[in-house]
A and B are shown apart, each in its own frame.
Chain A
Amino acid sequence: MISIRGLTKRFGSTAVLDGIDLDIAEGERVVVIGPSGTGKSTLLRCLNFLDRPDAGTIAIGDVSVDVARATKRDILALRRATAFVFQNYALFANKTAKENIMEALVTVQGRPREEAERRAREVLAETGLAEKADSYPAALSGGQQQRVGIGRAMAIGAELMLFDEPTSALDPEWVGEVLDLMRRVAAQRQTMLIVTHEMQFAREIADRVIFMEGGRIVEQGPPGQVLEAPHDARLRRFLRRVA
């Protein structure tokens, strides 16, 4: 169970997140849509403290943090309860695909290397990249890199997986394989919070779609309702533009 209250982030005098309240049930798959610059990515980055939020509370599983008073320990706990998939993949350039997946397990979770390696091989098999275990990121296509990125996040076994526009940086030819992998993650009833512009994908896998604008949640509900029968005029305008 994830519970966010009054999450606020300002850059200078503009509130990029303007008091976000959001609950996510275990196993729920939530897709966030909205025009660019409306705080969707910032929401994800604040949950992970890649951007430090200014106010509010975040509770993920047993970790509960008042962000204004967050200590280093709180921040690490929050980061360890979440797994982040980056738009630009952000694989560790000095590590192979397998080592990228092992890194969090060994260094952060303190698991034995053999166990971490076994888990990495399992995950690579799930992502269809078993034969790329010893390849460095530079030798992988964008789609393959992002699949390793998702594998790295899967292996952590985090309470919540965060996807920050995972297909936006990809050449069109690689988008399909990445969405396929995300469908498989979703099928395991992993709790997911996904920022994406892939409306068809949202329709397919989301339990709930959230429309954000101006740092606020404007409308939310099941995809059938939000995407097919939107109430808010800004959402209708947005959907006409992306359709």
Chain B
Amino acid sequence: MRALDLDYMLGLVPVILGYVPLTLFMAAVAMLCALVLASLLAVERVIRVPGLDWLVVLFISFFRGTPLLVQLFLFYYGLPQVLSFLTQINGVTAAIMGLTLHFSAYMAEAIRAAITGVDRSQWEAAQSIGMTQAQMMRRIVLPQAGRIAAPTLVNYFIDMIKGTSLAFTLGVTEMMGATQKEASGSFLYFEAFLVVAILYWIIVEVLSQGQKQLETHLNKAYAR
């Protein structure tokens, strides 16, 4: 057993930190897109639009039922062979698309469950004042469902940040890709991957602190 090359590790930290913005960018964009898509899917699952319901069920089933890595390869390497306009798609875009579709399927189920958890009286009050279904969902039901679903959704966001590491398989140099390159130059694989692991860990820990504050904020209206 050899000693850890601490100097090498310390030197690697700023290099990998330089790729944190790209990792967070991919995760943040994918999260925003997934939230919108998942909300639409969840609302559809609750109100069941005839002719659309089976499609949504199929979508959720497929994207929950297949591995994220397989989906990413399908989009990045596979689809351009059948859809020629996709030949220009770059790795970052493909990764964001893949993460969006994959996680929206999971998040849709969490949001659907949260919507059905919103008290019936809230729906009736919204209907009684003459709101349209869209107004009721947007102004009353979804905000309350959001509070119920928040802890679960933050968990998915954390998963998503870690999931961006798969983008390196599409040739994207993000945190994981940069580490891989560094390690293959120095052959200090253990040090390199330990550094990147710790950096991911720190990012997730910081977010977990943010999660507590978010929950306090969301519960503000419900404090007695």
Residues of A within 8 A of B (CB): 48-50, 76-77, 79-80, 82-84, 86, 88-96, 103-104, 107-108, 136, 138-139, 152, 156
Chain B residues lying within 8 Å of A103, measured Cβ to Cβ, are: 129, 139
- Given A86-B125, A107-B135, CB of A94 within 8 Å of CB of B221: yes
Residues of B within 8 A of A (CB): 119, 121-122, 124-132, 135, 139-140, 143-144, 147, 220-224
Chain B interface mostly helix, strand, loop or mixed? helix
Bound-state CA distance A90–B126 (Å) is 9
Tell whether, in the assembled complex, residue A91 and residue B125 are in contact, meaning their CB atoms are under 8 Å apart.
Answer: yes
Tell whether, in the assembled complex, residue B121 and residue A108 are in contact, meaning their CB atoms are under 8 Å apart.
Answer: no
Given contact pairs A86-B124, A93-B122, enumerate 7 new A-B contacts (beta carbons under 8 Å): A50-B128, A83-B128, A84-B129, A86-B128, A90-B125, A108-B131, A136-B223
Bound-state CA distance A178–B68 (Å) is 57
Would you give 8 A-B contacts (Cβ < 8 Å), ordered by A? A84-B129, A86-B124, A90-B128, A93-B119, A108-B129, A108-B130, A136-B220, A156-B129
Tell whether, in the assembled complex, residue B144 and residue A94 are in contact, meaning their CB atoms are under 8 Å apart.
Answer: yes
- Write the nearest CB–CB distance from A160 to chain B, whole angstroms: 12
Chain B residues lying within 8 Å of A96, measured Cβ to Cβ, are: 221
Tell whether, in the assembled complex, residue A92 and residue B126 are in contact, meaning their CB atoms are under 8 Å apart.
Answer: yes
Bound-state CA distance A90–B127 (Å) is 11
Chain A residues lying within 8 Å of B147, measured Cβ to Cβ, are: 94
Bound-state CA distance A43–B221 (Å) is 33
The residue in B121, B128, B131 that gathers the most chain A C-beta atoms within 10 A of its C-beta is B128
